[in-house]
């Protein structure tokens, strides 16, 4: 398994700007990445984990493959029990 960069790594942060102007947290098509806290457009998100079959958990949207991988290593750390 390759070494994942932490979310506070400058290279990761440069790609994960939570202040993207066109995204608003009150928009129902926008989600917050549970790892880095950035905003994600659900309609165009390439990195996500779908909701559980019964709908009790998720979906989770991520700004990058790195954030998704970090989440998958320890979902409970981010409040997910799936």
Q: Is the pTM of this model over 0.85?
A: no
Looking at residue 76, its pLDDT comes to 87
Q: What is the pLDDT of residues 2-61, one digit of tens each?
A: 466 666 665 555 455 554 557 888 999 999 999 999 999 999 999 999 988 777 778 999
- Between the alpha carbon of residue 78 and those of residues 6, 22, 35, 71, the distances in Å are 14, 26, 7, 7
Q: Residue 62's beta-bridge partner residues?
A: 47
- Per the structure, the complete domain to which residue 19 belongs is given by 10-78
Number of folded domains that form the chain: 1
Task: For the beta carbon of residue 13, count every other beta carbon within 10 angstroms.
Answer: 15
Evaluate whether residue 5 is within a structural domain: no
Evaluate whether residue 68 is within a structural domain: yes
């Amino acid at each position: 398994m390759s070494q994942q960069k932490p979310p506070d790594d400058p290279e990761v942060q440069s790609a994960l700007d939570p202040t993207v102007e066109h995204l608003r947290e009150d928009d129902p098509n926008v989600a917050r990445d549970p790892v880095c806290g950035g905003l994600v457009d659900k309609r165009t998100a390439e990195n996500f984990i779908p909701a559980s079959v019964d709908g009790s958990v998720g979906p989770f949207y991520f700004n990058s493959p790195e954030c998704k991988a970090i989440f998958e290593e320890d979902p409970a750390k981010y409040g997910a029990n799936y």
